[in-house]
Structure formats: C-alpha cells, structure tokens
Structure 1
Amino acid sequence: MMKLSNMVRGLASDAVAKSLIQNWEHDEGTLTFWRASSNFVYAFENKQEKYFLRFSYDQESSIEQITAELEFMEYLKSNDYPCVSPILSVNGKYIETVLKSEGTYFAVVFSSAHGNTLDENITEVQCEDWGRSLASLHQLSKVYEPVSTKRFNWQDILWKIDVMLQAYPDEKEATEELDILTERLQSFPISNTNYGIIHYDFQLDNIFYEENNRVFSVIDFDDAVYSWYALDIVTALDDFLGDDMNLVHSQVKSFLKGYSSVFPLNNEDINQFSYFQRLMKLYRFSKLLWSLEGSEVVDAPKWLDDVKLKFARVRDELRRGF
C-alpha cells in the first residue's frame, strides 16, 4: 500500500507509465491502467499478447528487493510452479528505471496469467485446489536458496510497524498490540518445515484458475517475505476466517484439506493462526496510517476523496479491534 500522495503523482496523465513502457516492445495505443495498491499496474499488448507493466516509487520499494522477488519467481518457474514470468526489456534488463522530479520509479513487465479469477462464491473443490497450490509453493520454498539478496523477513515487518507507530504516539492500543505480538512471535519455533519465503498475498485477486487442469496461476509476489507458512494461510483466507477464526467455514475446511494433502499442518501451526491474524491487521493498520500521510494534495483528482474516506473507515475499524 503506497502513500496516496505518491499514487496521485504516479498516475498523473499516465506520464510515468508512458515513459517506462518505451523500454519494452509493445503495440502502440494499448497501454491502459489496471490497478494501483502497493504498485502501479498497467496492461498492454505486444503482438496482440497481453502483458502487465508494474512500477513503484523508490519510497515504496528497492531494486534489491525487486531482484530478490524476481529470483524467487524464476526459481518457482524452473520447478514447474505456475506463476507469471518477468520479461526482458529491449535493453536486456528485467528492471528498468525512470527519474522524475519527485524521485525514481522502478519497473518490471510480466506475462499474463492463464485462467480466470474467482470470487467469494468459490466452490469447495476449487478451495481444495487453492490450498494445494499454496502448499506446493511452500514445499518449494523449503529448499530455496536465494542467489543474491534475500527478501525481508517478519522482523522487518515489525520494525516497519514500530517506525510508523512512533510517529503516532496517540495510537497507544496499537503500540501495546505490537509489544504483545513481538514477544509472542519471538517465542515461535522456526524450522524448514514451518518457515521460509511466503507469498503473503495469496488471495483470490492474485490467483487465476484453470478449470480444465484444476491449477492456479499466481501473480503479485511483491509482498513475498520470510515468515511462517501459517501466516501465508491466514493471509490467504482473510475474507473467510472472520474475527472469530472460523475454521469450520466450508471454504476454510476445504482449503486446509487441500493444503494438508501436500504439506501437513499440525496443531501448533493452527494454534498460531490467531496471532498471525492479529499481525496482519496491525500491519494493515500501520500501512493505512502511512498511506494517508500527506494526502492533502493540491488540485487532487476526484477519485482521491473517495479513496481517502474508504482508507480512513478501514483504519478506524481496525483501530477498534486493538
């Protein structure tokens, strides 16, 4: 989740996207905005094939972390895991940069995913396949060794939350929650059977289902982090678990059944779910604080007010949960 002020600048007249796309082969006139969250994403075509340009402001990411992300994706692809591929630019690079007055942007292009997105009406069979897909990723993660830079880990997440909350001393309940979670997470065991690099956003808008072979093709690894595999499960199931950690929800049961068929879960993993849900909510809260900082933008586009209201509403709901 980026600062809204950065989002306004990055989307202004599509100037950044139009500048960056010149580094890749493309069909003129096909560049269109797709979505913006922690990154800007535009769709385009090259020889009538669809691709996606993703770029981020240097305040939001770094070349080292993007490189680590792409290396993990290439490892997954080399082991026949279905995820999208980064595409070389005309300059023979996976990452291109453009310097603007407000700073530097880093860009990557990806192939498009096969299959279709699913919604909350996902069937139990599809949920099993969803869980199986995440477990297969974790099986590969178990033996992954990074080529160069490692991705961030869960301690970096706690550090980011702490830095943000220090700027908001009135958020005492959130700070207390951080202290509780820090102490609790530090007591969790770490081994190659429960910990490794995780996707950390394995939700339905980042996976595409191929009905014929019951396989999910995965996108959006830019949140990948070293943490417990159970955190990946909780993040994926966020829309279905509810605040009461409803593990008997039909979709949740089917997901866990599919997951356990590939990567066994034990009671210790499941007992940690509630703490990971709390971490996920606290991290989201801190990112909303970050995103709303400095969002009083001169000559702001009309959409900004609606987004600010939505973010503020979610922030306030999360605050009441601490």
Structure 2
Amino acid sequence: MEKVVNDLFTENILHELAESFDVFSREFTLLGDAENYVYEVTKQASSFILRVTHSSHRDEAQISDELSWVDFLQRNGVSAPEVFRSVNDQFIEKVKAKDNSTFYACLFEKVAGKRVNIGEEVHNDKLFYSWGQTIGKMHRLTKVFSEQVDLFNRPSWKEEDLFHLGKYQNHPKKEVIQQFDHLVNLLNHLPQKKENFGLIHSDLHLGNFHYDESEEKLHVFDFDDAVFHWFASDLAIPLYYSVWVLERGNIAVNLEEFATRFLTHFLKGYETENQLSKEDYLAIPIFLKLRDYVLYGFFHKKLDIETITETQKDLIASIEERVINNRAIVTVNYQDILKSI
C-alpha cells in the first residue's frame, strides 16, 4: 500500500468499520495490503473476510457495481463469496479519514476449499481444466448480465491507472513507453463485441481462488479488479502468473512445455462453457505482454525504487527487458494447442 494511504489508515478507522459489521474481535489477521487491506476476522466463531478500500483506489459506485456482479455470478452457479450486510443494513460502510478522503469496508464469506501452490500434487491437469471451465462460465454469464444491467461504474481497460508510468517514475524509459504505445495500437485494432469483450475478473491467479479437489471445483474471490476488457485477457492472466511463479522460484521445469500443457487443459475446460474465435485465442500473447506492463507499473507505484532489494531490482529488470524487447513471458505454439482442443 502507498505510504500516503497507510498514514491515513488508523486502528480507530479499522475498528469502526469492523464494528459496523458486528465484528468486535481485536485480533485481525492481515491477509494482504497491496490494493486493499484484507483481513480475516471472526464473528460468532466463524471466519469472514473484511476488505477495506481507500477512495484513491475505488469509489463507492465502483464497489457497488462489483458487488452486483458477484451476486449475479453466485446466483447463477459460480462459487463466489456471499456479501453480508452491516448492522445498518448496508453492503458498504464508510469512514472519513483526516484528509476528508474515505475508507470503504465490505464483509465477505470466507470461501470453501484450499489455496493451491505450484509444486503441490493437486496442481495438475484437472485443476487447469476446472480453472478454464470456471472462467468460461463467468464469461458466458457476463454476456447475459450485460443485457440485464448497465454497469457504468466499473472501469474500462483504458482507464488502468498503472498505464501512466509518469506518475510513478520521474523519467520512464522511452523504449518502455514506445512498446506500450505499440500494444495499445494493437488493442485498438482488435474486434470489440459482446462475444469477446465484457466485464471480467482480470486477476484470477492461484492466489484468488480456493480449490476443492474432491469436487474439482474452484471457489473464486477478490473481484476488486473487475474491468471491461477482452475475454482473452482473462485467459492470459492465469497463464502469466503460473509461468511467473515458476520462473521466480527457479523451479526445474521447461516453461514452454508447462505453458503448452497448462493452456491445452485450461482451454478444453473453457470451451465447455464459452467459445471464442480462433483470432481471440491467438491474441493471448498481446495480453501476456500487457500484463508485464501493468505489473511493471504496479511495482513502480508500490515500491520505493531507491530502497528496494537486489531481488526486487532483478525482478523489475526482467520485466523491463521483456517489455523493451516486445517479448511475452512465454512462447508456445497456439495453432497446435487450438487443434488439440
């Protein structure tokens, strides 16, 4: 979390928000603080997830639309967390900070299943298939949802704050900016229609779902990044982060072979619920490159580049090298994969 937000977020604000959901335990377990403060809390001997969001990240209307979409998905067969009302019968509670900005809070169900880590036995073809199938169901349903509800308050991909490197770097490298402009030009020429574009999760990596191995079922959470985007981006992100974790962990595996196996089973699952055109699938490398740029912006926004560790410097340098050289994190033969599904 940015220092300016951390300085505003006091214990009194946290406890006032928690108590509005009838949560009085002073033992909050912080699960994450990248874009939101996410806590596991206890209420009547059961665990819940309390998420606190600063107004510099999302406004109330954006959060409300996110919750509407999650509710629709849940009511139509996607295992997403239930959202609970506060003692004031509200889904969103808010408290003003000392600078007159606002912190918003929501209380979510803690979903079933377990987190999966790369290298575990359960990280296998069945999981990849279920992963793709779940995203396919979400894409199929979001097309129905868009016909029923107008969500004007969720951002479009063009509104991504992390695209604006000049806000976080004094002198962004011109080669990085040039490659980003090239990517945007490619995206602006992609077809954008109901069949391939809509509201997507946009961050469904291993850290944002639990898995029930016995039922081969994903329980999805963290819809904070929900955005209007090409469906192919939602396919690229699971592949991107799976390869990224393998690469960062120096795990002895051929990345191209892993990516081919992953995508083959992932897309077979996806196709059971939703189908895209061949051209949409072949656009996945564009979105792998876009994710590199987004992550590059994220690190410059969240980290003090002058004081980061050597490991963090190497990580950012590796992303920068790929961006400048217009190279995706992994290369596979998409034509062959599509023939196999």
TM range (shorter): 0.7 to 0.9
1:234 counterpart residue number: 236
Q: Mapping of 1:7-156 within 5 angstroms?
A: 7=6, 9-10=8-9, 14-26=11-23, 28-102=25-99, 103-121=101-119, 122-145=123-146, 146-156=149-159
TM-score, length-scaled by structure 1: 0.86
d(CA) in 1 for partners of 2:66 and 2:283? 26
The 3-state SS of whatever aligns with 1:142 is helix
* CA gap 1:245/1:38 in 2 versus in 1, 3 angstroms: farther
What amino acid does structure 1 have at the position aligned with 2:108? F
Provide closer, same or farther for how the CA distance between residues 37 and 154 of structure 1 changes in structure 2, counting only shifts above 3 A: same
Paired residue type of 1:58? S
Q: Which moved more, 1:203-212 or 1:246-255?
A: 246-255
Find the aligned partners of 1:253 and 1:239 in 2 and give their Cα distance: 16
Deviation at 1:246, TM superposition (A): 6.1
Residues 21 and 53, structure 1, Cα contact 8 Å, conserved in 2: yes
Pick 1 or 2: higher relative contact order, CA cutoff 8 A, min separation 6: 1
Deviation at 1:194, TM superposition (A): 0.9
Deviation at 1:7, TM superposition (A): 3.8
Equivalenced residue count is 308
**What residue is the counterpart of 1:3 in the other structure?**
2
Aligned partner letter, 1:218:
V
1:200 to 180, 197, 202: 202
The answer to whether residue 298 in structure 2 is matched with residue 282 in structure 1 is no
RMSD across aligned C-alpha pairs, in angstroms? Answer: 2.6
Using the alignment, how far apart are the partners of 1:65 and 1:236 within structure 2?
Answer: 24
Q: Which moved more, 1:142-151 or 1:251-260?
A: 142-151
Q: Does 1:213 align with 2:215?
A: yes
- Return 53-62 or 145-154, whichever deviates more: 145-154
Could you tell me how far 1:165 is from its partner in structure 2? 5.9
CA change 1:217–1:147 in 2 (3 A) is same
> Do the aligned residues in 1 keep the contact of 2:166 with 2:172 (CA within 8 Å)?
no
Distance (Å, rounded) in 2 between the aligned partners of 1:199 and 1:128: 18
CA displacement at 1:120 relative to structure 2: 1.4
Deviations 1:96-137 (A, max 9, x none): 111222432111111110111111131111111111111111
Identity of aligned residues (%): 23
TM-score w.r.t. the length of structure 2 is: 0.82
Deviation of 1:9 after TM superposition, in Å, equals 4.9
Give the letter aligned to residue 254 of structure 1: H
